C-alpha cells in the first residue's frame, strides 16, 4: 500500500451542476475577511479543545493515513444552518479504522479472508445516510439560494461530507476488488471451499453477491474455454480440475508466502518455526514471516498485515 | 458545527485539515517532530547507534511530504531546511536497512523501527528473495534440518 | 508453483544429460538418426520433464531397472560449484542455466541434495544484495557483465526492485 489518494469518481448526485457551481463561488469568497483575520491570530492564546464531534463524519474519519491533527480554525461553519442537519446518527469513531484494517489485511493476505459482513453492512448503511443528508442539503441549498441566505461555509461543509463519502467509497471498492481478484485467480478452489456455505450459519467466506459472481464468472469462463479451444481437444484433455499425476490443475493460494506483519496485541506471541525453533513476536514489532504461521492471529486481530 | 470556533485549537483528520487549509480557513499546528531541531537530533542518534533506527512516526515520510507541500507556512522551519534534513535521515536509514538485508533468510526477519514508506520500498525485494529461499529450502526434505534454521530470528 | 506457472513449465524444458539403460528400437531420431534404435548406454540430453519420468519409472514390474539414468548435469559440476563458492557474484549463471534456481530446486527435490541447496542459498543472498545495489542506481541503462549473468529469477528480481526504487524516487520528487 503506497499512499492513499482517493481517486474515486463522484457518486451520482442529482443537482451536480448546482454543486460544482457553488464550489467555485466558494473559492473566491471572503478573501479580504480572511486576510484581515490572519493578523489578529497572534493576539489570542490558542485554546485547546478536545476532538471535534464529527457532524460531517458520522464515520469518524480517523485512519492510518490521516492521523489527527491539531489545528487552528477560523470562523468556519459556525453559522451552519441547523435545519439542514440530519437526525443524529449513532457515532462510531473506529468504524473507519476497522474498514482500513480489513482492507489492508485483505490486500496483503495471499488467501481470501472471511467476508466482513457486519462491518460492511454498517458502513454501507452509514454511507447511505450521509448520501441522504447530502441530497437533503442540496435541496435546502437550492430552495434558499435565491434568497441569498446560504453561507459559503455551508457549502464547504457539504464538500467535506462529500469528500468523506468518497474516501469511504474508495476503501470499500479497494476491499471488494481485492477480494474479486483473489476469487478470479482461485475460482475452482473457492467454489470447492465455499460449497457448504450460505445455507448454514457461521462465518461465511464469501458474501452472497460474491458467491453469485464467482459461479457466474466461472460459467462464462468455462464456456469461453470450451468454444475457443477445449471443445476441439480430446475429452480426456478437457478437464480444468484434473488432479491426477501428482499435479493439480486447481490453483490454490500460496500460504507459505512471506508477509509483512505488525503485532498489535499486548502479550507476546510465540511461533514455532519449522526447525522447532521458536520466534517471539512482541507488541508493535514488525516482522516478515510465512503467512501460514500467523494466519489465525490475523483472524482474531492480534496481528495486522501491513 | 459548534466545535469549530475561530482561534481555537481542535483536532480533525488530516484530509479535512488540508481542505480547510486550502480554503484559507485554518492554520495547521505542525507536529512537534516536524522541525529541524528534532529531526537533526534523530539524525545524530542514527549516527551514534549504527544498529538502531531512531524513533520516527509510522508515517513520517508521508506526513512531512504532505505538510511541506500543503502547509509550508505553518511550519517552524523553512521547507528547504526540512527537506534537506529529511533527505539526510532517509539516506542514513537506507544504508542501515540495506545492511540489515544481509540477514535475509527463508524463515523470518524483524524490521522494527522502519516506517511504512520505507517498508514499501523494500517490500518487493524482500518478498521475492525470501520466497525464493523458501522454495529452495523446501525442495529438500525438512526432517533433520540443520544450518539453515539457525539463521532465523535476527534482529537489526 | 502451480499448474499454470510459466516459469516452471519453461524450466521443465531445460535439457539435462541422461544415459539409456536399454536399447529402444525406433527412438534413434532423438539423436539425429531416424529409423534406427537407441543403443543401451547412449548418452543424450533430454528435457527435464521427460528425463524425470524415465528415470523414475521401472521398465518392467518387479524390477528396479529404469529406462534411463541421470548423469550429473553441468550446472552442479564441481567446477561450477567451486566457482560459486569462490565468488558468487562472478559466476555467469545465465549461460550455465537460464533457470538456474528452478533447476536446482528440481534436482534437489529428486536427490535431496542439502549441500547443493545450502550453497545455492548463500549465492542467492550474495547476488541479491548485488542486484539491489544495481537496482538502486537511478540511471536507466546500466551495462555491466553482472547484469548479463543473471538467471531468470534474478532478472525478475532486478526488474521488480528497480521498479520499486523508481516509484519511490517519483513519489519523493513529484
Cross-chain residue pair B152–A273, CB shorter than 8 Å: yes
Q: Which of residues 154-173 of C touch A (CB under 8 A)?
A: 167, 171
Q: What is the rounded CA–CA span in Å between residue B2 and residue A80? A: 9
Number of domains observed in the structure of chain C = 2
Same domain, residue pair C60 and C105: no
CA angle C1, C147, C171 (to 5 degrees): 80
Report pLDDT for A236: 84
Whether the per-residue pLDDT at A211 is higher than 70: the answer is: yes
Report pLDDT for B150: 38
Separation in Å, CA of A183 to nearest CA in chain B: 22
Q: Is C32 on the interface with A (CB under 8 A)?
A: no
pLDDT category at B142 given cuts 50, 70, 90 is low
Whether the per-residue pLDDT at A52 is higher than 70: the answer is: no
Report pLDDT for A184: 94
Q: Is C3 on the interface with A (CB under 8 A)?
A: yes
Same domain, residue pair C90 and C130: yes
Q: What is the rounded CA–CA span in Å between residue A121 and residue A105? A: 18
Q: The domain that contains C97 carries what CATH number?
A: 1.20.58.2050
Radius of gyration of chain A (CA): 26
Q: Could you report the per-residue pLDDT of A138-180, keeping only the tens digit for each?
A: 888 777 766 666 677 788 888 888 999 999 999 999 999 999 9
Looking at beta carbons, which residues of chain C come within 8 Å of B114? Answer: none
CA angle B116, B117, B122 (to 5 degrees): 95
The more confidently predicted of residues A57 and A249 is A249
Nearest neighbour of A248 by CB, restricted to C3, C167, C171: C3
Separation in Å, CA of A163 to nearest CA in chain B: 9
Q: Which fold has domain B14-140?
A: Methane Monooxygenase Hydroxylase; Chain G, domain 1 (1.20.58)
Closest residue on chain A to B15 (Cα) = A66
Same domain, residue pair C88 and C112: yes
Same domain, residue pair C62 and C140: no
Same domain, residue pair C82 and C66: no
Cross-chain residue pair A252–C3, CB shorter than 8 Å: no
Cross-chain residue pair C121–B106, CB shorter than 8 Å: yes
Looking at beta carbons, which residues of chain B come within 8 Å of A44? Answer: 7
- Which of C25, C53, C71 is the C-terminal boundary of a domain? C71
Our measurement of the distance from residue A219's CA atom to the centroid of its chain's CA atoms, rounded to an integer in Å, reads: 29
Closest Cα partner for A44 from A76, A77, A74? A74
The domain spans of chain B are 14-140
Whether the per-residue pLDDT at A81 is higher than 50: the answer is: no
Whether the per-residue pLDDT at A206 is higher than 90: the answer is: yes
CA angle A164, A167, A168 (to 5 degrees): 90
pTM for this entry: 0.79
One DSSP character per residue, chain C reads --TT-HHHHHHHTSEEEEEESS-BTTGGGGGT-TTSPBPTT-EEEEEHHHHHHHHHSBSSTT---BSEEEPPPGGGSHHHHHHHHH-GGG--HHHH-TTHHHHHHHHHHHHT-HHHHHHHHHHHHHHHHHHHHHHH--SS----HHHHT--HHHHHHHHHHHHHHHHHHHHHH-
Separation in Å, CA of A2 to nearest CA in chain C: 9
ipTM tops the 0.85 cut: yes
Cross-chain residue pair B20–A76, CB shorter than 8 Å: yes
Q: What is the rounded CA–CA span in Å between residue C112 and residue A196? A: 40
* Summary count for chain A: helices (H), strands (E): 8, 7
In sequence order, what are the beta bridge partners of A271?
A279
Same domain, residue pair C98 and C164: yes
Closest Cα partner for A179 from A221, A209, A199, A224? A209
Which cell goes with A36? 484581515
Report pLDDT for A148: 62
Whether the per-residue pLDDT at A45 is higher than 50: the answer is: no
Q: Which domain holds residue C103?
A: 73-174
Separation in Å, CA of B115 to nearest CA in chain C: 14
Whether the per-residue pLDDT at A63 is higher than 60: the answer is: no
- Which of C71, C105, C132 is the C-terminal boundary of a domain? C71
Report pLDDT for A84: 39
Residue bearing cell 442529482 = A14
Q: Could you report the per-residue pLDDT of B29-58, keeping only the tens digit for each?
A: 999 999 999 999 999 999 999 888 998 999
Looking at beta carbons, which residues of chain B come within 8 Å of A303? Answer: none
Best residue in B68, B139, B144, B150 to probe C by mutation, most C CBs within 10 Å? B139
3-state SS class at A214: helix
Same domain, residue pair C16 and C86: no
Cross-chain residue pair A2–C2, CB shorter than 8 Å: no
One DSSP character per residue, A145-203 reads HTTT---HHHHHHHHHHHHHHHHHHHHHHHHHHHHHHHHHHTHHHHHHHTTTTTTS-S-
Separation in Å, CA of B5 to nearest CA in chain C: 35
Report pLDDT for A125: 93
Report pLDDT for A199: 58
Cross-chain residue pair A251–C167, CB shorter than 8 Å: no
Same domain, residue pair C8 and C48: yes
Same domain, residue pair C57 and C86: no
One DSSP character per residue, A93-109 reads TTHHHHHHHHHHHHHH-
Q: Is C157 on the interface with B (CB under 8 A)?
A: yes
Please say whether the beta carbons of A214 and A183 come within 8 A. Answer: yes
Considering A161-175, A270-284, C60-74, the range whose residues carry the highest mean pLDDT is A161-175
Report pLDDT for A9: 29
How far the first Cα of chain B sits from its last, in Å, is: 48
Q: Is C7 on the interface with B (CB under 8 A)?
A: no
Longest dimension (CA), chain B: 71
Report pLDDT for B90: 93
Closest Cα partner for A241 from A189, A183, A182? A189
Q: What is the mean pLDDT of residues B1-21?
A: 80
What length is written for chain B?
Answer: 156
Nearest neighbour of C132 by CB, restricted to B98, B117, B147: B98
How are strands ordered across the β-sheet holding A303-305?
A303-305, A258-263, A286-290, B109-110
Lowest mean pLDDT among A166-180, B7-21, C115-129, C133-147: C133-147
Would you give the DSSP letter of residue A88?
P
Report pLDDT for A93: 55
**Helix or strand (DSSP H, E) at A290:** strand A286-290
Q: Is C4 on the interface with A (CB under 8 A)?
A: yes
Domains for chain A: give ranges and CATH numbers.
16-181 (no CATH), 186-253 (no CATH), 255-306 (3.40.5.60)
Q: What is the mean pLDDT of residues B12-22?
A: 90
Report pLDDT for A277: 80
Alpha-carbon distances of C173 from B19, B69, B115, C107, C168, rounded to whole Å: 22, 11, 19, 46, 9
Lowest mean pLDDT among A106-110, A162-166, B139-143: B139-143
Same domain, residue pair C77 and C6: no
Same domain, residue pair C86 and C55: no
Lowest mean pLDDT among A3-7, A10-14, A127-131, C51-55: A10-14
Cross-chain residue pair B140–C165, CB shorter than 8 Å: no
Phi, psi of B106 (to 5 degrees): -80, -10
Lowest mean pLDDT among A259-268, B137-146, C26-35, C79-88: B137-146
Average pLDDT over chain B reads 85
Q: What is the mean pLDDT of residues A86-98?
A: 59
Report pLDDT for C1: 58
Cross-chain residue pair C167–A2, CB shorter than 8 Å: yes
Amino acid at each position: 500500500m503506497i499512499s492513499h489518494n482517493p481517486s474515486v469518481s463522484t457518486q451520482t448526485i442529482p443537482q451536480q451542476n448546482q454543486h460544482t457551481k457553488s464550489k467555485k463561488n466558494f473559492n473566491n469568497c471572503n478573501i479580504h475577511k480572511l486576510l484581515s483575520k490572519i493578523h489578529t491570530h497572534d493576539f489570542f492564546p490558542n485554546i485547546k479543545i478536545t476532538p471535534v464531534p464529527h457532524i460531517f463524519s458520522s464515520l469518524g474519519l480517523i485512519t492510518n493515513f490521516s492521523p489527527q491533527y491539531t489545528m487552528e480554525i477560523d470562523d468556519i461553519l459556525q453559522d451552519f444552518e441547523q435545519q439542514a442537519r440530519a437526525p443524529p446518527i449513532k457515532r462510531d469513531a473506529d468504524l473507519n479504522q476497522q474498514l482500513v484494517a480489513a482492507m489492508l489485511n485483505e490486500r496483503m493476505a495471499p488467501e481470501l479472508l472471511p467476508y466482513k459482513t457486519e462491518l460492511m453492512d454498517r458502513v454501507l448503511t452509514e454511507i447511505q445516510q450521509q448520501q441522504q443528508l447530502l441530497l437533503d442539503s442540496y435541496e435546502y441549498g437550492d430552495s434558499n439560494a435565491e434568497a441569498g441566505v446560504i453561507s459559503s461555509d455551508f457549502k464547504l461543509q457539504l464538500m467535506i461530507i462529500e469528500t468523506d463519502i468518497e474516501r469511504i467509497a474508495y476503501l470499500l471498492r479497494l476491499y471488494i476488488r481485492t477480494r474479486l481478484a483473489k476469487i478470479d485467480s482461485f475460482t475452482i478452489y473457492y467454489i470447492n471451499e465455499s460449497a457448504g456455505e450460505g445455507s448454514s450459519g457461521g462465518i461465511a467466506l464469501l458474501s452472497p453477491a460474491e458467491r453469485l459472481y464467482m459461479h457466474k464468472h466461472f460459467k462464462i469462463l468455462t464456456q469461453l474455454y470450451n468454444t475457443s479451444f477445449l471443445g476441439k481437444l480430446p475429452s480426456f484433455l478437457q478437464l480444468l480440475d484434473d488432479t491426477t499425476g501428482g499435479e493439480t490443475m486447481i490453483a490454490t493460494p500460496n500460504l507459505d508466502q512471506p508477509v509483512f506483519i505488525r503485532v498489535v496485541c499486548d502479550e507476546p506471541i510465540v511461533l514455532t518455526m519449522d526447525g522447532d525453533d521458536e520466534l517471539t513476536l512482541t507488541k508493535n514489532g514488525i516482522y516478515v514471516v510465512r503467512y501460514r504461521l500467523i494466519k489465525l492471529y490475523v483472524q482474531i486481530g492480534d496481528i495486522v498485515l501491513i | 458545527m459548534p466545535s469549530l470556533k475561530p482561534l481555537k485549537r481542535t483536532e480533525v483528520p488530516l484530509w479535512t485539515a488540508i481542505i480547510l487549509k486550502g480554503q484559507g480557513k485554518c492554520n495547521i499546528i505542525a507536529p512537534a517532530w516536524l522541525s529541524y531541531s528534532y529531526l537533526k537530533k534523530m539524525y545524530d542518534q542514527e549516527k551514534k547507534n549504527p544498529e538502531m533506527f531512531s524513533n520516527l512516526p509510522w508515517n513520517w515520510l508521508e506526513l512531512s511530504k504532505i505538510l511541506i507541500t500543503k502547509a509550508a507556512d505553518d511550519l517552524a522551519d523553512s521547507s528547504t531546511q526540512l527537506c534537506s534534513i529529511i533527505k539526510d535521515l532517509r539516506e542514513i536509514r537506507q544504508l542501515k536497512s540495506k545492511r540489515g538485508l544481509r540477514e535475509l533468510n527463508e524463515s523470518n526477519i524483524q524490521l522494527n523501527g522502519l516506517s511504512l514508506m520505507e517498508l514499501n520500498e523494500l517490500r518487493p525485494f524482500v518478498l521475492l528473495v525470501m520466497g525464493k529461499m523458501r522454495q529452495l529450502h523446501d525442495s529438500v526434505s525438512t526432517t533433520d534440518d540443520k544450518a539453515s534454521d539457525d539463521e532465523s530470528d535476527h534482529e537489526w | 508453483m502451480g499448474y499454470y506457472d510459466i516459469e516452471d513449465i519453461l524450466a521443465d524444458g531445460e535439457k539435462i544429460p541422461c544415459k539409456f539403460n536399454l536399447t529402444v528400437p525406433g527412438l534413434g531420431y532423438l539423436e539425429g538418426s531416424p529409423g534406427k534404435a537407441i543403443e543401451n548406454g547412449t548418452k543424450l540430453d533430454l528435457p527435464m520433464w521427460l528425463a524425470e519420468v524415465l528415470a523414475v519409472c521401472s521398465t518392467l514390474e518387479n524390477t528396479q531397472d529404469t529406462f534411463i539414468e541421470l548423469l550429473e548435469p553441468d550446472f552442479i559440476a564441481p567446477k561450477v560449484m567451486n566457482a560459486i563458492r569462490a565468488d558468487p557474484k562472478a559466476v555467469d549463471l545465465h549461460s550455465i542455466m537460464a533457470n538456474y534456481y528452478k533447476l536446482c530446486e528440481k534436482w534437489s527435490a529428486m536427490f535431496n541434495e542439502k549441500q547443493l541447496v545450502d550453497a545455492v542459498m548463500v549465492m542467492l543472498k550474495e547476488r541479491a544484495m548485488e542486484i539491489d545495489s544495481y537496482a538502486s542506481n537511478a540511471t536507466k541503462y546500466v551495462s555491466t557483465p553482472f547484469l548479463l549473468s543473471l538467471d531468470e529469477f534474478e532478472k525478475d528480481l532486478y526488474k521488480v526492485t528497480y521498479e520499486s526504487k523508481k516509484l519511490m524516487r517519483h513519489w519523493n520528487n513529484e
